[in-house]
Each structure stands twice: as C-alpha cells, then as structure tokens.
Structure 1
C-alpha cells in the first residue's frame, strides 16, 4: 500500500513538472530560502535567455538591474514575501544578453506542514509590449493635452453625458472668463442666454449631437461678467469601446468681430443700394419735373393772357380756379426738384436753435391740440450751412407726418445735439467724416414696419388715405438734407413710434444771415425793348413765349434749336435779347449758345429758361448780361427779368 502511494506521488510530481514546463508565457521557477534558483521552466528560458544548466544554482538577483542590486532590493523582496506571505510588483528586469524587459513579478513563500520555510515560488511575466503600448498611449494623451491646453483661440472642454463640465482649457478661460476651478462640475447651460435656456436649447443641443453625431450652430453666449459674444459652437458625442456614451466634446469660438464686420458690410451694401436707388429715382423725378414745368409754363401763361381779355364773373372764377390748380402743380414740381436735389438753395450759416425757436409757433399750430410738442434745445450749438426756409419746410413736413401718425394724440419731441462721425460710421452713411449737428424728430405714434420705413422717402409713396397726402413731403426732406451735404435716417417700430434723425455738417463759426427781402409786387414792362430771339424746341412753349413777348411790346424772332439761332444772329443785326431754353436737341445747349451769341453780339442780353433749377445747370456763362428764369414762368416774372437785364451794364 505504501509503495502504491509513493508511486502515485511521484507520478503527480511528474505531471506537475510537465505542466510547468509547458507554460511558455510565464517564467515559473523555485528559489531556496537564500534565493538560489532550484528549478527552471521553458517560459523562463524563453524570455530570460538562460537554459536550465546555466542558471540552476545561481542567485536570482542577477535578473535585477544594477541599481536595484545596489539598493539591496532582491533581499528585501524575499523578506517581504516571507513576512507577508506574498510579494508582487512591476519593474525592470535584465535578460542574459543585458537587455531589459518590463516584468510583472509574484513571489510566494513555500513552507512545510510545520511552517518551516523551504524556499520560494517565483512567477514572472514579460509585459514590455503592454507597457510600450501604455506609454505610447500616455504620451499621445499628454501631447493631446498639451495641444488642447496650448489653444487659446478656441474654448475646448469636455461634458459628461448630463452636460456638466469635466475639464477646461485656457482658450475657454480666455473667452468665457471662468477658471477651471470655478467651472468644473457646473452645467454648461450657464453659458446660454436666458431666452435660450427658457426654450430648452442646451438640452436640445445635446440630444441632436447624440442622435445625429454632431451639433453645430451660431448664437449668443454669455461670459462670466454677463456680457454677450457671438459664438460658433460644435458639440460631438464621445463613445467608449463598448459604444457607450461617456460624454461630449465641445468647441466654442468667439466670432463676434467677424459678425460685426459682416453686419457692417451688409449695412454698407444696403446703404449703397438705397443710395443708388434714390439717385436713380431722383434723376427720373428731375426729368419729370423739367417736362412738367414746360407744360405748366404753357398753362399758367395762357391763363394769365386770358385774364386780360375776360370780363365775365363766371369765366374769371373758372380761370382763377385753373390758376390755383396750376400753382399747386408748380408746388408739386418744386417738391420733386427738392427730392432730386435740383432745387435752388439760398444757403447761409444759421444757428439751428434760433431757426427752430423762430419757427416754434408754426410747428405748435401744425401739431394741433392733441399732440404734446417738446423741444430739447441746447444753449450753444454749432452753425449749419443751409437754406433757412427749406430747413423750416423740412421740419414742418416731419412734424405734420408725426402728427398724422398720432391720430389720438401723443408726444412729439424735437431735439438738437452734435456728433463726430468716424471714417467707418461715415462710410456706412456715404458722407464725409467729421462733426455734424444732429436734429431728431421723435413721435410716439403708430410706427412702421421695416418695409414701409425703407420706402418713406420715395416720391409719391404714402400710407395715408387717398386725398390725405401726396407722398412728397418726406421726399422734400430727403432731397433738402442730402443736397445740404447731410444724411437722414429712420428708426421705427410698429406700435412704438418713429424717430427721424437728420445729420447736417457742423460749422464752428459763422453768422446767421437773413433772407433778402423780395418785393411781392411785380410790374410788367410796358415799353418796347426792341427785338427778341426766342429759341425753344417745344412748339407749344414757343407759342406761349411768343405771345408773352408780343404782349410786352417786343418784335419776335424764333428758332427751334441753337444752330438755327446762330444762323439768325449772323444775318439779323437788330437783336437785343436772346431768350433760350437751356436743354435743347442737336448737341448745343442754351448756355453754349449764350457764349456763342455774345461772341457775335457782345452787347446782347441773354435770358435762359429751364425746367431744371439753375443749380443743376452748367455754371459757365452766367456772368453779367446773362440771367435765368425757372419754368413755369409767368409773364409778370418774365417782364421783371427783362427789365433787370435792360438796366444791367
């Protein structure tokens, strides 16, 4: 029986040895109590390099680095294993060829039944490849961390799956104002505006990122100090190897300056488009006004001529009614010319405060009892170079429009101030940079939609009922301000009122000058003044002019264009006055004709007429002996002009 048990024990030991020798991924060997190697398996031979005959009987400390041996580490390892029942660590070990490998080491003490130490079982595993991979990963993570930490133009940080901040880079601190200690653990929704939080935008952003793999948007975000910045935001979900969501990567960039630049460009483009549109409409309306003045010239003067021969009360009343209508037409024409910036202006330096104070009574009367007019006028203000009467007319037009926008009453404020436009702000308005006097007219009326506000200065555009307005009042204001070198703006919100802002170039010094008095009594010339040459390409206008000069006692010669007039001047020596339209066909205009006429007849008097104002015509040629009259003219005005020419030297 004892022999059988001994045989079985020997057999078990043999099988165990075969098992140990078969293991090649682990070095499994025995040490005696002093650390001498007593056994050796194939795994130990594979990655330590020693065959069994070379290593048996050697001390296991030869596997340790020189530094560890010098520090007595091998002996302490055995003492620890014997004392604590186990020793386990990871460290560098040395192969037979002197190369190092990273080892995971476990040492267990072996004791007999009485507890006596028989030696140690040592198991070593080569983890060099794993450690290299871990170090490579660690280095990669470190480089990535340095990269992220080095970025200051972008806020780059992590969120957990619920949206709480888990890390923070310097770019996030620079842009948003929070240090990492302040913000870590806080919910990222604090960066959103109150309006966005109320609509649940932060939560939707995370849901979209999770569902679609990415969320990107632009919008307002908040800094620590409460100020807003315009941000480009990208949120990406992060998944682990098991495809489980572990958080979000969030990148934010402050693009406020870019947005401001884009808005400034859009404003400049809109202003340019509006300016070009108004310029085109202005050219059209100026041409219409010119043609309309030709028609009015015929109507007005035929009516004036009729009054000299009509005696019946009914006929006189009809003619007077027609004259009033023609005068109204002339006023509309002047408003069209004002919009097209072709009205004649009598500009002078004025104190805008004195202008408004002197006109206050008229403005209050125009407001009516339901509107509370308030004036906010400084004690001192720069001068402006404007036509005083046109300034008052523009202000009255604005007041009347404001009054009509407050049918149930309201507050109307006229205020004056000053500003200094920078190059950028002036460029948007297409006016020179520099100091400006600012005149604002603000009401609490119905206000306008953006579409209506963009069209208020267009001729004949009106929101009033039929018969309540011509749509030319604000056109006159626009034309007057721009012709005076200024700028006008509209700020209106539907239901909240309108503010009209006028900017006029400021002049530091100057003295207000009053308008020269002009006589309201015009006396027609009754005496014969000689021969007149009338040059007019419109037959109807030519016919009316001929009638007027004939009624004033002139001998009349006519021509339809400049070339015909020159032919008459070269053959007829008895011409005293040249009366010519300015705009004519066949190349030569009235101004050029006047110069040619004075070369042929140095003493000839020249009177030029046009539906355009004198300010819109070439300035050369208007010297002594040359005068100008605007269409539509009346025969009494024409008589006064001729009398002035005759008395001039």
Structure 2
C-alpha cells in the first residue's frame, strides 16, 4: 500500500515562499490574518520585510521585529520559547500591548530605533509576566533600525538573549570584580564589533552567510567566513563563489543557483567549499532569493560528514561480516542440495549402465526420467543461486505485467488451495516493464506460495499492479533513482513478520518454515532477479495483520514483445538451403550436443574452441548464417567481444549467446542489438532447435 501524501509536502503559495523552512512560526505567519494589521496581507509585504522575516525565521537566536510605528511583532521559534505563555498571542500584536509591564522601556526602543539609532543592553534586569506571574529576568538586548525601501527606518529588529541563569550563577559563585570587569570588557568588545557590521544578525551567527547575485558574484559576507574557512571579506567581495566549489559539486550547485533564480527557496543543499588552506569543508545551505540577490546561510556539517563516514565504514565492516556468515550458510546449503541431486543423477546412470549390460531394457525409461528430473532440479537451484548473486543471465523483454498476472491466476488459485481467496486488482494503462517473463512468473508464484504458508487457517491474497511516480523522497525510501516505475504487490492477511525477520528475509537459506518445508532461497532469488532488472523489493508488514511484498520495476518506453513458442526437437523444421552455423564453446560436451542437434536438423556445423579460433572462421570465406557462442571463453576474448567482432566482419550475421554464468554486463545488461539473443544453460535440446530455426528464418 502506498502512503498518502502529507499536506505539508504540497507546494507553498508564491507569497509564502520566503516562509519555507521557518518552523512553527513560519506556518503561524502564513496562517495569520494580517489584513487586520497595518502590515496588510502577506502578498503586499515589501521585499525588505520579506527578506528580514525569511532570515530571522532560520536563525537559532531569539529575534523579533517591531515593524512600523506601532511595533507590530513578528518573531522566530527561538523567541517563542523566550515568550513562554505569551506565545502565540504576541504574533501580530503591538509591542506596547504585548508587553505592557515594560511598555515605557519599549517606547524608548521604538523612539530611538525609528530615528535611526541603535541600543545595546548587557544583562538588563526586567520584570516580565511570561507565565502569569512576575519574573525577574536578565537579558542581553540589541536593537537596530531596519531600513525601508526609501532608506528610512521602517522598523526595529531586536536580538534577545536571556542571561538570567548566567547572572544568577555569577551571583552564586560571587564572581570577583576582576572577572566581572573582564567579562564586561569582552562583551563590550563584541558589541562594538557588531555595531560596525552592516547587518548585526550576520555578525552574531556562527554560520557563514552571504549575499550574491544570480551570476554567483559575492556582494556581502559575514565574519564566519574568516573563522570557518579562512577567507577575509576583501578576498571574497566581487568574486565568483563558484570558484570555491569542489569540482564534483559544481554541476549540482549550478542547478541549485538556477532553481533560486526561478524564485524557489533552498531548504537544504549540501556542497563543499574550498578553505584558504586548500582543504574542502562540507556546508549545508538554506537560501532565499529576492528580485536581485540570493540571501544564503551555510551551516558547517564537516563533523557530521566525518561521523557519517566513520559509521558507514563500521556498517560496511558489519555487512562484510554478515556476508561471510551468509556465504557459510550458502556453502552448507549448496553442498546438501547438490549432493542429493548428484546422488539421484549418478545412481540412475549407474543403474542404467548395469541394466544395459544385463540386457534388461524394461526399466530404462524410469532411470532416464529420474536422472533428467534431478538434473532439472539442479539447474533450477543454479538459477536461484545466480539470481541471489545478481549474476543470472536474464533474457529481458518488454512485458505487459497485467497480461502476465492474468495468465498466472488460475495456476496460483490451484496452488494456494480453496481456503485462500485470490483477488487481482490491475491498474488501467499499466506501463510495460523490461523483465525476463519466466523469472517474473516464478517470482510471483513464489510470493503467493509464501503468502499461503503465512495463512494456515485460510485468508485472502491480493495481487495489485500500479504505475508509480517516485519523487526524490519516495525514491530514496526505496533505494531507487527518482522516476517512473510500475509495481507488482502481493498482500496477504496472514501472521505478518517481526522487524528481525524482515531484516533477514532476503538472506540465503534463511527461512521461518519448519525443517524440510522451505529452502530459504525463494526471497533471495526474487531479490536478486528484481535488483538485476534495475528494480527493488520492499516488505511492508505488521505482526498479526499480514504482509505486503512489492516489486518495483523501471518503466520501459516501448511495446511489449510477442510470445515465443519452442518447437519439439522431433518436429522442428529442417534446414532447407544448406545453412551453416558456427558453434564456439570451450566445453567439448556442449559443442558435441549442439553440433549433433544442428546435424539432426540438417544444418552444417563448424566448431571452434575459443574466441580466437572462432574469429579465424569469421574471417574466412565460409558461409555462416548463425553464430552460437558461449559468453565465458578462454584466450582473452569473451563471447560478447567475439560477437562484436563478428558484426564488424559480417554485419547481418545472427548471434545466439548460450551461457550458464556470466556477468550481465557481458551481454549488454539486457540491451542487446537486433539479431542477438540469449539462451541460458542448461536448456532442452528442443528449445535450442526452435530458437536456431527462428533466428535463421526470421532474423529477429
């Protein structure tokens, strides 16, 4: 099931963009009825007011603006904590009415500030009624005028830092006069430095701040650039800040600047800036654009990145340890299963040879059937192991998943039994997926069998398909790139899974079923197949409520492929025009079997043991209608390289890859050129015959 969208994720109205990332106060300001105040509706606020509010909302320091002659109060989350029980009714009120107990004090502040003056108080003692009773408090207060568009003060901005705890602690500790004098001198020096700065808020911040135009030209920086990165103000003003960006972050940063230039606010963007000593430091940026400039605040996250890297290395070591444990489980499981299968094969062959020697031909079919069945199960186990390792050679085709599900429903119902109700919900207009259809059928059946086993007393299985648009957040949750996907989900009403079981569900040979009732390879096989197909598997489960297993596949832009039909070897069409097939495989047994099939069908077969020998035949004048080659070949040239060379020498030559193990990249990640096909070992001889005939006749 897909989570519903959070209302907070909806796009902000244009007039609210400057409030984005402003926490609780940002939302309260957006919802407040400003029409009843002298400021008027948000949409009519001037640019300098929007910029001031946007910056103070992102500050961790308690800041309040007193706007206009009445001192209309707008503040940030940090100030709301300072205000105590007075919040939120202080928002939008006149300062004299909001703090009546200090009305005279604030009258003086407004008088001086609107006249263009500044005020600074250190450990100022006041009596406030923040929680319904008088409180004696001490504060550091800094007041500065806010220039309007005409250059005259339009309001006053106040930075409020409560020092009550410090003052009381100093009293308790009986700070000496010398220590108090030194503290006052340090505080006085800080006040003097802040006064010289054009924007006092920037001076107080430990975050780097800058104003730049949309061409990345630096207009203003705060002192934190020197503290954090070593660059002086004169070294940066007028320069292109892109010159400081790490080369690997350049493209993303340019894209973010372009987004800002279109009016969008940056809430969190990370990149690396070059320090003066040449090293790079990670910064996390919040930025607000106005008509001409970008106003940005960057927080130092270098320590967080280093801690995350340390954690990643630790987790990687843990994963490696878990992987080695899984390999141990895998080895034991393989040995057990293959020894059983080999016993069936070798025992049947020995009895077959004995009966032939004795002239007893009655039971030969039984031994042949037994050996053939065991070999088939061994091949299936090999496919499962390769799927788990994501090294299975897939034959992906554009597939209509709705049609595939419809074709499987009857088999699924017979398999799960009458106690289980199977419902199918197919999405209309479902996008095609580029997958191996038999593997997807096997995965779907496996999921339904697991669902059945989780409902011993009966229940309901729902199979759903859907188109999915995954944005960055949804894609990140599923460990996928953003984009278009289709999902195939199987939901049961069974026992559900605990978090511990979910965490190990895809481990090889891990099973919660009783001994002998499950191999533990089913989900690991599904996971490997889906990941190899470019998709993802996700489990949504609640103990006692059931489980949903969702397979996500990238959307394929194209039509689905027509169904293929294999002909039986005895009835396969014979060669009619003297067609010749080049067979390249380093395994003599495979060459012998393929050659005999070809000769049985009337084809001429030419054998080669490796890529170099095959290349010599390709360069000769011999007629060739088809190249059948293994992917893994000795001698430095694999089957895909041989095929590429064949296409250079004989552009119209059809090619069939036969392979039992190969890196998927060796055959093009499923993106083969026209006329190239894959057949996975082991394969029935009639399947080989049908595929060869189709390729030669149709040129597909």
Which protein, 1 or 2, shows the higher relative CO under an 8 Å CA cutoff with sep ≥ 6?
A: 1
TM tier, smaller = 0.3 to 0.5
Structure 2 length-normalised TM: 0.45
Q: Which has the larger radius of gyration?
A: 1
